[in-house]
Copies of this chain bind each other. A is one copy, B any other.
Amino acid sequence: MGRWEPDSRGRLQEAALALYSEQGFDQTTAAQIAAQAGVTERTFFRHFADKREVLFGGSDLLRDRIVAGVAGAPSADGPLDAVSRGLDAAAAMLGEFRRDLTRQRQAVIAANPELRERELAKLAAYASVIAATLHQRGVREPQATLAAEAGMTILRVALQRWVSDDEERDLAAIMRDSIGELRTMAVGD
């Protein structure tokens, strides 16, 4: 292991996002990413199964954090409050990433139908386990699914919002405000 090895994962992510943004996801190869990051292709494949995983690695961890947030909500919390705790957990994890890298990731996914479908499928899978977690808290259908799906919509929209130039709130604040907007809309319609 060379001197830079400990950070090679981060450098590979940065190099991949730069290349996906510049020349397109489909046109970029693992070899190009490795070269740009100054590591071997073998090092790339030690960190990522393929070039899609650069964008979706950490998905299971994020899901587990969100579910832990929902499951750990006080028993008095209703479904939306419990989902809001899950979103706080997501913000704590996602907020650590650099905003510029998140912005690149969002743009790369938005530009590619296959990646968009993968992202939607990921969020749908999250919603499904969140709904199951809400069931365990005694929440019935359709509330459990409505709360879980609303949470994933809020996560998706908040990420877009967070990386826009004129946004000053942090990710957690954006999501909490969105939950508030959902409540206001539902009441005041």
Copies in the complex: 2
A142 within 8 Å of B (CB atoms): yes
- A154 close to B142 (CB less than 8 A): yes
Kindly list chain B residues whose C-beta atoms are within 8 Å of the C-beta of A178.
142, 146
**Contacts A141-B157, A142-B157, A178-B142; A185 near B117 (Cβ below 8 A):** no
Is the C-beta of A60 less than 8 angstroms from some C-beta in chain B? no
From B120, B121, B146, give the contact of A185 (CB < 8 A).
B146
| A80 in contact with B120 (CB, 8 Å) | no
**Contacting residues of chain A (149-179) with chain B, CB-CB under 8 angstroms:** 149-150, 153-154, 157, 161, 178
Chain B residues near A78 (CB-CB < 8 A): 185, 188-189
Chain B residues near A182 (CB-CB < 8 A):
143, 146, 186
Any B CB within 8 A of the CB of A181 = yes
From A77, which residue of chain B is reached at the shortest CB distance?
B189
Task: Enumerate chain B residues within 8 angstroms of A121, measured Cβ to Cβ.
Answer: 113, 116-117, 120
Task: Verify if A81 is at the interface (C-beta below 8 Å from B).
Answer: yes
